[in-house]
Structure 1
Amino acid sequence: MVGISRRQGCLIILGLIFLLVLSSSVVSTTAVVAGRNSNRAGNVSLADVPILNYHKIDTLHHSLSIPPQEFEEQIAYLSQNGFTTISPDQLMSYLNHSKALPEKPILITFDDGYLDNYTNAYPILKKYGFTATIFLVTNLVGHDERFMTWDQVREMQKAGFAFGSHTVSHAALTKISREQAMEELIDSRKEMEQQLGVKARYFAYPTGAYNLQVEEMVKQAGYKAAFTIRYGQAGTESDPYALERIPIFKGQQTFRSFFIRLNAAPLLERFGLIRN
């Protein structure tokens, strides 16, 4: 693991906050903002839950591709620092009904359902006793060699992994008709229920694109919550159909970026620099 002492970590986070304070662009996000999230400055919950967002665990030269060795470095850090993975059901029971969570809960998510989630990420997560939630593009499962098969999905499900919908075809729901969007939402949910034998309760927005109308469609399609790519932690003031996550990208210093994004979120929320 990359050697970062507690003092170095604090300096990194403080330096990041200083730079963000100087920049007026901090409050913007990479997703479409629905407009219902309240300003949490001075009212942040210390019990907010970090939700990590990954895509691919492989050696491709792409910002969404985290090399397996670096992914294990991150998972090892979480294990060594007392984090416990939770499921979306646990998260929503906590947010809606205040049901207890482990002392340091974390939800690990993957979007799209790439084959490397099974071949590379799955063994690493099992090694450390962790689970994850994977949002599937159902038309690609078992039909595209770059993606998992339903047998692989079912194997991971038996091991405690959870699965949600990422639509039928990875369509950006804000760019298609209401009828098409409802088909993407409902048909993917039905396919998952047929293949996995359980109701698909959770959804992640393809490309991160959503608005209030799309949120309402997700709710009408029968989902209990939906996940965005907006940076932040999920808390009691979060919109359940616009839950924040911490996207993890590849970089020249991937672990340092991971460390900062994971540990800076509570401080940035406290200072009102995100979720505005």
Structure 2
Amino acid sequence: MVERRKKRGLLLLGGLLLLGVLVLFGSSLIDRYSGVPVLNYHGIEDHEHNPLMLGVADFDRQMAYLAQEGYHSITPKQLLAHLEQGAELPSKPILITFDDGYRNNYDNAYPILKKYGLTATIFLVTDTVGTNDWYLNWQQVEEMRKAGFVFGSHTLNHVPLNDLSQDEIRFQLTKSKEGMQWKLDVPIDYFAYPTGAYNETVGELVREAGYKAAFTIDFGRVKVGDNPYALDRIPILKTKSPFYHFYTRLNFTTLMGKAKLAKEWVLGPSTLTL
């Protein structure tokens, strides 16, 4: 009982502190109209003890919120045109992305996204496509592509590029791109860094390989002036309070980013591999 009261007291204190910050700083910390949010998911699957596997009902609730709040899903092409040419975006734009290309993106996420009139971009680990039942196959990829989904590269086998030589990096970038273009007969222009590992050299090699933009797992929104080969995203994970996690990260990105940095300064960086 005493322990429960302590927890409630800490939660109340945390809520009051958050309210105080919002009162002091006002709309400067509310990000609904500041930059473009790029959500980063992995899998949508029930009964998985994995923070990267969000429950089906939780994902449905999050997509329902986006639809009810008037968000419009966009493509990486639209985002890049906005960043580089000032092209106009729809009201409340949002880019929804998935990394790795799990089969549950088709079985579970795809029907929910269609239900709410949303699309997504999926970054494929190309050696797994059609070779492992846990991942998408090319027929599923093609069906989703025809429905307006976009596909990009996540390398051949999800290797952190920082660990490789430049020749090995080039091989991962070009062969995954070429394989996808051969299978889908469309340009593959976008890339996501496996495990979020990248540096200036890796970014330059991505550019040289012919990609137009690349996405990190660095926490933040995308704004005009950002490096197109180091675009931030908002990772959405399975937590004890998944909707609260999603809502605060989406609507208070700046504040949550500062809190994340403070936590890492105190406790050290997260060891979660994305």
SS at match of 1:192: helix
The one-letter amino acid of 2:69's match is N
Answering whether residue 127 of structure 2 is matched by residue 124 of structure 1, we say: no
Which residues of 2 match residues 152-171 of structure 1 at below 5 A? 152-171=140-159
Q: 1:53 aligns with which of 28, 40, 47?
A: 40
Q: 1:181 to 1:73 in 2, by over 3 A?
A: same
The one-letter amino acid of 2:231's match is L
Aligned-partner Cα distance in 2 for 1:13–1:255 = 20
The number of equivalent residue pairs is: 242
Relative contact order, higher structure (CA 8 A, sep 6+) = 1
Q: Is the 8 A contact 2:125 2:153 kept in 1?
A: yes
Tell me the equivalent position of 2:230.
242
Give structure 1 regions of 4+ aligned residues with deviation exceeding 3 angstroms. Answer: 11-14, 16-19, 44-47, 266-271
SS at match of 1:139: helix
Q: 1:13 to 1:125 in 2, by over 3 A?
A: farther
TM norm structure 2: 0.83
Listed as ranges, the gaps of 5+ residues in structure 1 are 1-10, 20-40
1:67 to partner: Cα distance:
0.5
Aligned-partner Cα distance in 1 for 2:220–2:140 = 31
Tell me the equivalent position of 1:138.
126
Tell me the equivalent position of 2:194.
206
Q: 1:156 to 1:269 in 2, by over 3 A?
A: same
Answering whether residue 213 of structure 2 is matched by residue 228 of structure 1, we say: no
Q: 1:15 aligns with which of 4, 15, 18?
A: 18
SS at match of 1:230: strand
The one-letter amino acid of 1:15's match is L
The one-letter amino acid of 1:58's match is E
Q: Between Structure 1 and Structure 2, whose CA radius of gyration is higher?
A: 2
Aligned-partner Cα distance in 1 for 2:16–2:207 = 37
Bigger helix fraction: 2
1:61 to partner: Cα distance:
1.1
Aligned-partner Cα distance in 1 for 2:16–2:217 = 21
